[in-house]
Amino acid sequence: MTEQLTAPTATAASSGAAATEQFRARQRDQAPVADTARVSALAGELIGAARDIIRRHKVTYAEFDALKAWLIQVGEDGEWPLFLDVWIEQTIEQVANENRDGTKGSPEGPYFVPDAPRLPADSALPMRESEGGVPLVFQGRVTSTDGTPLPGATIEMWQADDDGVYSQFAPGLPEWNLRGTVVTGDDGAFKVRTVEPSPYEIPTDGSCGRLIAAAGWHAWRPAHLHVRVSAEGHQVLTTQLYFKGGPHIEDDIASAVKPELILDPTPVGDGSSREVTYGLVLDPA
Ligand code: MBD
Ligand code: FE
């Protein structure tokens, strides 16, 4: 494999198209929503909320046209998954998981890919020989809410690299780079060697980037590890783990950080690598 000479860039068009394709491939519920009353209530209230905003702010025809052009462009850029996961999914997640007692959830985001290579409990994520970033050992146990260890649980992991990009959504990366399905051992334990991800910046050259620039916001999410944890007889946990004191931990553009999900890794040896122990707790199904 030839090494990249420059950092790979994820253009809005390339990552958006891949995210849209991934979503279509694994849409959670393929069946059309059949509940007319619910569609009427939700669509009706959404339209009503838009009308309220228009009246309150005296939205002009020029602004209406700008919105129309922007919405058309979001689709053309393939950025609907990005837009919805950045600004809306945090609330969907809160509602979906409000009654759980186990580990808190956090959005899946647009960059999950199922069926990453299966790895034993004590493993390194697939990575390049010269993978950048501080080496990190992420270890712990998967248990049920009553403390029972869950051997044979799977932890699907995915993360950005040291350049802040995800394999399969940016050019030039090995297909499964920093992605894996870790299977827990006898006592529910796992020990995964990876590298600390960089913060994630929303592509600045697409529609989401244009909205951010037009609104004077910043485009950053704090560094995070994604996990999707599954075990027999338990609800699937989809969450993210963040890093204490890192950039944008306090002002995530996706408003998805929860205090319980912040890791505080400690230096190992000469301090050139770090490790952290974190328990993943699943609610019974
Ligand atoms: C991400 O990497 C992410 O995790 C979320 C939730 C939204 C956009 C990009
Ligand atoms: Fe992410």
Give pLDDT tens digits for 174-214.
999 999 999 999 999 999 999 999 999 999 999 999 999 99
Say yes or no: CB of residue 280 within 6 Å of ligand 1. Answer: no
Say yes or no: CB of residue 219 within 6 Å of ligand 1. Answer: no
| CA 270/CA 49 separation, integer angstroms | 56
* DSSP label of 64: H
Say yes or no: CB of residue 169 within 6 Å of ligand 1. Answer: no
Question: Domain 94-282's class?
Answer: mainly beta
Domain ranges (residues) in the chain: 94-282
Count of helix runs (H) and strand runs (E) in the chain? 6, 14
Q: How many CB atoms lie under 10 A from the CB of residue 45?
A: 10
**Cβ(115)–Cβ(180) below 8 Å:** no
Q: What is the mean pLDDT of the chain?
A: 95
Q: How many CB atoms lie under 10 A from the CB of residue 78?
A: 22
The predicted structure's pLDDT at residue 29: 65
Residues 6+ apart with CB under 8 A from 37: none
| CA 213/CA 201 separation, integer angstroms | 13
Record the pTM: 0.94
Q: What is the mean pLDDT of residues 231-246?
A: 98
- The answer on pLDDT for 5 being more than 50 is no
Answer left, alpha or beta for residue 259, where phi above 0 means left and psi between -120 and 50 means alpha. alpha
